Amino acid sequence: MKRRIFDKLVSYVGLGLAALLLIFGGLLNFGAAFANDSVQSQLENQNIAFPDAAGMPADTKDQLLKWAGMQVTNGEMARDYSDLYIWEHMKGSAIAVMGKPATYSEVSSAYMGLVRGGSTDVEKIKQ
């Protein structure tokens, strides 16, 4: 193969790869924008909002202050809402019901066991 033909072949392959990468980049950008818009739309429809600073749990207040009084509209806010705000409420409820921190599944299992046994006495769950 002559050098001139080889150079043209390599140039065309490189040009084709560059065009392919541009197409892939555009598609990936479109996908990311679509996912972001979809998440934002869903979160806005749910109308979830952080409480004002006074209503935040003491243990996670420092991490949540940046979101005080704001509506949840993106993934970072949703993660903080679930991992920090809801978690503190669940932990407080579990301590009130079971006397110790417990997961939702543990509290629910204890309660359902009592209900199936014919009782709804919360004091029995603490035991």
Render pLDDT for 69-106 as a digit per residue (tens, 0 to 9): 999 999 999 999 999 999 888 888 888 878 888 888 88
Domains contained in the chain, number:
2
Quick check: 34 and 26 in contact, CB under 8 A?
no
59 & 121 share domain: yes
34 & 63 share domain: no
68 pLDDT band, cuts 50/70/90, is: very high
Question: Tens digits of per-residue pLDDT, 16-59?
Answer: 999 999 999 999 999 999 998 999 999 999 999 999 988 888 88
61 & 100 share domain: yes
The reported pLDDT for the residue numbered 8 is 93
Q: What is the DSSP string of the chain?
A: --HHHHHHHHHHHHHHHHHHHHHHHHHHHHHHHHHHHHHHHHHHHHT-BPPPGGGS-TTTHHHHGGGTTPBP-SHHHHHHIIIIIIHHHHHHHHHHHHSS---HHHHHHHHHHHHHTT---HHHHH-
1 pLDDT band, cuts 50/70/90, is: confident
55 & 80 share domain: yes
67 & 119 share domain: yes
Residue 126: is its pLDDT beyond 70? no
Q: Which residue has the higher pLDDT, 110 or 6?
A: 6
27 & 5 share domain: yes
The reported pLDDT for the residue numbered 120 is 66
29 & 71 share domain: no
35 & 68 share domain: no
The reported pLDDT for the residue numbered 98 is 80
Tokens of 58: 């003491």
pTM of the predicted structure, to 2 decimals: 0.65
Look-up: residue for tokens 């199936």? 116
CA 123 remoteness from chain centre:
34
Q: Which residue has the higher pLDDT, 100 or 13?
A: 13
The reported pLDDT for the residue numbered 65 is 92
Look-up: residue for tokens 């949703």? 78
Q: What's the residue count for the chain?
A: 127
35 & 56 share domain: no
9 & 41 share domain: yes
Tokens of 96: 């009130």
66 & 28 share domain: no
11 & 66 share domain: no
Range of the domain at 17: 1-46
